[in-house]
Amino acid sequence: MCTLEKRGNLFILTLTGDSDDDHRLNPALLATILSSLREAKSQATRGAVLITTSQGKFFSNGFDLGWAQSAGSRPESAKRLHQMVQSFQPIVAELISLPMPTIAVVQGHAAAAGFALALCHDYVLMRSDKGVLYMSEVDLGLPLPEYFGVLFRAKVGSVSARRDVLLGGMKIRGAEAVRLGIVDGVHEGEEEVKEAGMRLGEELGNRKWDGGVYGEMRKGLYPELCGVLGLEVGKPVLPTL
């Protein structure tokens, strides 16, 4: 499922499982991720940083479509998919308002909601040697939840990159992802990308930022996304002068 570990200033959220586990965002995993994020938030101090990663070939392969399809009927399948879409939204909200910097270490494939999960983070690192980012919805004939579109437009600046990713269903490897401005860096190998994530985490942690102020500043960067997530922007935070 997932674990939340504290290592010094760093909160490390890991989607766990054997190397073939594709970390499908089913209701149980969604609930565990959400409660882990809330736990990290409750323990946040100056200099705290969140690092999210997974084990194995996949970062996350998106919603558990298998579980949705195994419902009795088409309407029931649609309801299950809708349930997952609804339960992922608070995770996005939690990440966009988290009172600490966030880093996604994408050590494997990230597809659909899994790709969205990565994009919710302030910094995204992936591997250059393995793994793709892929918005599979267009190929699967699945509509994009409204907040997904807003998230992608908020986080991916290039108009042609948005088209290639969302409309073109492109499978994007590390080097291309950097070129398109989707990720911040690539590293060769799982160890390397995880170490790079830890180094970045330490660097950001050493700045000892006030998490409350940081979270409000981050929300200020994404007003449309906050709007669609129901997040209040511009709550007065008392500065320490």
> Which residue of 39, 184, 192, 202 would you call a contact of other proteins, by CB under 8 A?
184
Q: Give dist(CA 62, CA 91) in Å, integer.
A: 13
Q: Give dist(CA 240, CA 67) in Å, integer.
A: 49
Closest to other proteins by CB, 35 vs 206, is 206
Q: Tell me the closest approach of the beta carbon of residue 234 to other proteins, in angstroms.
A: 5
Q: Does 213 bind other proteins (CB under 8 A)?
A: yes
Q: Does 156 bind other proteins (CB under 8 A)?
A: yes
Q: Give dist(CA 116, CA 130) in Å, integer.
A: 19
Closest to other proteins by CB, 7 vs 207, is 207
* Cβ within 8 Å of residue 195, ≥6 positions away: 187
H-run or E-run covering 217: helix 211-221
- The dihedral formed by the CA atoms of 67, 72, 73 and 79, expressed in degrees to the nearest 10: -50
Residue located via tokens 């200033």: 9
How far from chain centre, in Å, is Cα 75?
29
Q: Give dist(CA 36, CA 42) in Å, integer.
A: 10
Q: Does 220 bind other proteins (CB under 8 A)?
A: yes
Binding range to other proteins, per CB under 8 A, among 69-77, 139-147, 165-173, 205-213: 205-213
Q: Does 154 bind other proteins (CB under 8 A)?
A: yes
Q: Does 202 bind other proteins (CB under 8 A)?
A: no
Q: Does 204 bind other proteins (CB under 8 A)?
A: yes
User: What would the two tokens of residue 95 be?
Assistant: 């990440």
**The residue count for the chain:** 241
Closest to other proteins by CB, 30 vs 98, is 98
Q: Does 157 bind other proteins (CB under 8 A)?
A: yes
Binding range to other proteins, per CB under 8 A, among 2-10, 54-62, 68-76, 233-241: 233-241
Number of helices (H) and strands (E) in the chain: give both, helices first.
11, 10
Binding-site size, other proteins (CB under 8 A): 27
Q: Does 218 bind other proteins (CB under 8 A)?
A: yes
Contact pattern from residue 103 through residue 142 relative to other proteins, giving x for each residue in contact according to CB under 8 A and a dash for the rest: -------------------x--------------------
In this structure, how many other beta carbons lie within 10 angstroms of the beta carbon of residue 34? 16
Residue 5 exposure: Cα atoms within 13 Å on the Cβ side: 12
Q: Does 155 bind other proteins (CB under 8 A)?
A: yes
Residues in contact with other proteins by the rule CB under 8 A: 101, 122, 154-157, 181, 184, 204, 207, 209-210, 213-214, 216-218, 220-221, 223, 234, 236-241
